[in-house]
Amino acid sequence: MDKAKAKKRIEELREKISYYAKKYYDEDKPEISDFEYDMLFLELKDLEKNYPEFITQDSYTQHVGGNVKTGFGKVEHKVPLLSMQDIFNIDEIADFVNKIKEQAEEENIENQNFVVETKIDGLTASLEYKNGIFVRGSTRGNGLVGEDVTENLKTIKNIPQKLTEKVTITVRGEVFIQNKDFEEMNKKREENGEEIFANARNAAAGSLRQLDSSIVKNRPLDIYVYNIQEIEGKKITSHYEALQYLEQLGFNVNPIKILCTNLEEVNEAIKEIENKRDSLTFGIDGAVIKVDDLPFREMLGVTSKNPRWQIAYKYPPEQKSTKLLDIVCNVGRTGVITPLAILEPVEVAGSKISKTTLHNEDFIKEKKIKIGDTVVIQKAGDVIPEVVKVLKEKRTGKETEFKMPEFCPVCGAKTIRLEGEVAVRCSGTECPAKLYKNLVHFVSREAMNIEGLGENIIGELLDRKLISNIADIYNLTFEQVSTLKKNGTKFANNLISAIENSKQNDLYRLITALGIMHIGGKASKTLAKTFKNIDNLANAEYIELAQIDDIGPTMAKSITEFFASDQTKDLIEKLKQAGVNTEIKETEETDERFSGKTFVLTGTLKNFTREAATNIIEKFGGKVSSSVSKKTSYVIAGEEAGSKLTKAKDLGITVLTERRFMNMIK
């Protein structure tokens, strides 16, 4: 390759790697597999080695991937959290080991041992302890500065809040999700119509970097600790001994750590880990080889990107080809229709694969998948089976195109795909596949607010076939409800009373409860004020709807399609017959004192719940946002206000105490 072509290819690779790295590290939404990314990176590295005159400081070969996410406090790492040099050829292991041995002999280092560990596929975290108490945790970020995610890390059960000794120490570990937990989490997300995670690593990263720690608490995060970054008052000279000491302190330490004295033992350890790969409960993408002698490590030092005392050997993903026999469609609880590939069973990475998700219509078109194709399967992150590509050369001409169904395969209602979305959905309000989710939403606090009718009770009512659609709630009898609980007389009285009271709710609550796509509480109030009753709304034209403030074209289309459905018309009629109010209630003249103002709530409020404060702001014509931006008018800060308060101060936004807010609403 001549210089001109080399320069052009280097620039192309940098642009691609920069894009894919941003998707992987910063957005936690990878668009290519780890192996594909590694191959691009390796190609760039080799080209830069052969043409060093084209190396620039902004190249990804010169720094650690990832940036500090806005919304978190910054943490400067006293000891940089550098990445590892990846290798893909077994011969490079020998080069590394022999080079280390030679340097050790030159320096008269007696301990020339190595420790081989699993390379866990997760997100690096730094944990700081003062006198044995956990005080701060952070992500790697760019290696020098990370994100303060202390509160999120506190939700992980395997991170000890107090150590067995009063030691001041900083350790490094990997936050991840166990394979079984990951599969279960994705299964629930798919059922709920949510976007599934591409792999366990990005699920862990996306979870840990949530701004709301209550979300993190519900994610099954775990951690393995594998290095001491700093320690006060204790001298440790061996990495293997350090790992044992970390276990004594109460840390969850990387379970596979093999002490090796020579190249042969290192190679055996790498092979042993590869053989165990399919039976491990957590995802790995390689094995790490580390120098055991800690003072020797200091002598070896680091480059601007990698320590010289360790390398990571990356295992290639196992791929198999098989026949795609059919594509069927599953309907999730929110009505999202997901195409599923039915495969001729094939063993991949220790599991027999007979089906896998094809995600959506766009994925099928992008991969040019046809029914009857021979496809290549691999496990993404060693967990989820995925279709990598089609072997077009094996086509016989008998393959057939797949089209997403025009009607729901469960209830027969028309399917819809809204502009800007990849999901195709069932439009039916009474579709059995989405009935449970619809019921839960209908009775929720922000909708019809039927107290006592929680998820478990709804599940029980469906199991006993006491209800088969939303309107059946209003036909429940005292006798039926009282059987749901032992000694259920009081429960039945309260629930029947709550159901009866909900019939008198204002119109906006009913509109919210119907679960129209893109229509939340605020839009429901606007629609109720504009149309006065449900019939006027149902008969509204698209153009009329699209011109309403806070509605717009996307919402307008969603509303017209919703009310055009026969199932919707049937449900509305049943609700009317049950005595549910379908008209707006007369209210006193509204006070628009917060019109045009946007509020953000942060911290714990003493006198209001978040919902109550939101309702007050909206009552006075204001809006409530979940994030601080330049458009924010006020931030109401309660106790233990966090990063939102910091950002508000940085942007010069007016911060209100709870007392000041109360004065504003008098």
Please report where in the chains the tokens 């039945």 appear, as a residue: 492
pLDDT in tens, 124-143: 999 999 999 999 999 998 88
Q: Which residues contact residue 453 at a Cβ distance below 8 angstroms, ignoring those fewer than 6 apart?
A: 443, 473, 495, 498, 499
User: Most confidently modeled of 39-43, 50-54, 323-327?
Assistant: 323-327
pLDDT at 380: 58
Indicate the pLDDT class of residue 473, thresholds 50, 70 and 90.
very high
pLDDT at 612: 83
Indicate the pLDDT class of residue 257, thresholds 50, 70 and 90.
very high
Indicate the pLDDT class of residue 466, thresholds 50, 70 and 90.
very high
pLDDT at 378: 86
Indicate the pLDDT class of residue 528, thresholds 50, 70 and 90.
very high
CATH no., domain 415-577: 1.10.150.20
Q: Which pair of tokens denotes residue 141?
A: 């970020």
Indicate the pLDDT class of residue 68, thresholds 50, 70 and 90.
very low
Q: By three-state DSSP, how is residue 160 classified? A: coil
pLDDT at 209: 78
582: number of CA atoms within 13 Å, CB side?
A: 17
Q: Which pair of tokens denotes residue 639?
A: 């106790």
Residue 48 has pLDDT above 60, yes or no: yes
DSSP-assigned letters across all residues of 480-540: HHHTTSTT-HHHHHHHHHHHHHHTT--HHHHHHHTT-TT--HHHHHHHHHHHSBHHHHHT-
What is the C-alpha separation between 511 and 527, in angstroms, rounded? 8
Residue 443 has pLDDT above 60, yes or no: yes
pLDDT at 575: 96
Q: Which residues contact residue 264 at a Cβ distance below 8 angstroms, ignoring those fewer than 6 apart?
A: none
Indicate the pLDDT class of residue 253, thresholds 50, 70 and 90.
very high
Ordered by start, the domain boundaries in the chain are 3-54, 82-314, 319-394, 415-577, 598-664
Instruction: Identify the sign of the CA torsion 40, 46, 50, 55.
Output: positive
CB 260 within 8 A of CB 293: no
Percent residues over pLDDT 90 in the chain: 49
pLDDT at 116: 97
Q: What is the DSSP letter of 662?
A: H
What's CA 258's distance to the chain center, in Å?
A: 33
Angle of CA points 104, 304, 287, to nearest 5°: 60
Average pLDDT, whole number, for the chain?
87
Say which CATH class 3-54 falls into. mainly alpha
Residue 60 has pLDDT above 70, yes or no: no
What is the C-alpha separation between 238 and 293, in angstroms, rounded? 5
**82-314: which CATH number, 3.40.50.300, 3.30.470.30, 3.30.70.980, 3.90.550.10?**
3.30.470.30
Residue 193 has pLDDT above 80, yes or no: no
CB count in 10 Å sphere of residue 454: 13
pLDDT at 430: 80
DSSP-assigned letters across all residues of 244-278: HHHHHHT--B-S-EEEESSHHHHHHHHHHHHHHGG
Residue 217 has pLDDT above 50, yes or no: yes
Residue 419 has pLDDT above 50, yes or no: yes
CB 598 within 8 A of CB 622: yes
pLDDT at 531: 94
Indicate the pLDDT class of residue 58, thresholds 50, 70 and 90.
low
Burial group, residue 654, by CB count within 10 angstroms (0-12, 13-18, 19+): exposed
Indicate the pLDDT class of residue 13, thresholds 50, 70 and 90.
confident
User: Does CATH place domain 319-394 in 3.90.1010.10?
Assistant: no
pLDDT at 275: 87
pLDDT at 26: 59
pLDDT at 327: 96
Q: Known catalytic residues?
A: 119
The whole-model pTM stands at 0.52
Say which CATH class 598-664 falls into. alpha beta
Q: Which pair of tokens denotes residue 45?
A: 């590295």
pLDDT in tens, 347-358: 786 667 899 989
pLDDT in tens, 228-244: 999 999 999 999 999 99
CB 332 within 8 A of CB 191: yes
Percent residues over pLDDT 70 in the chain: 92
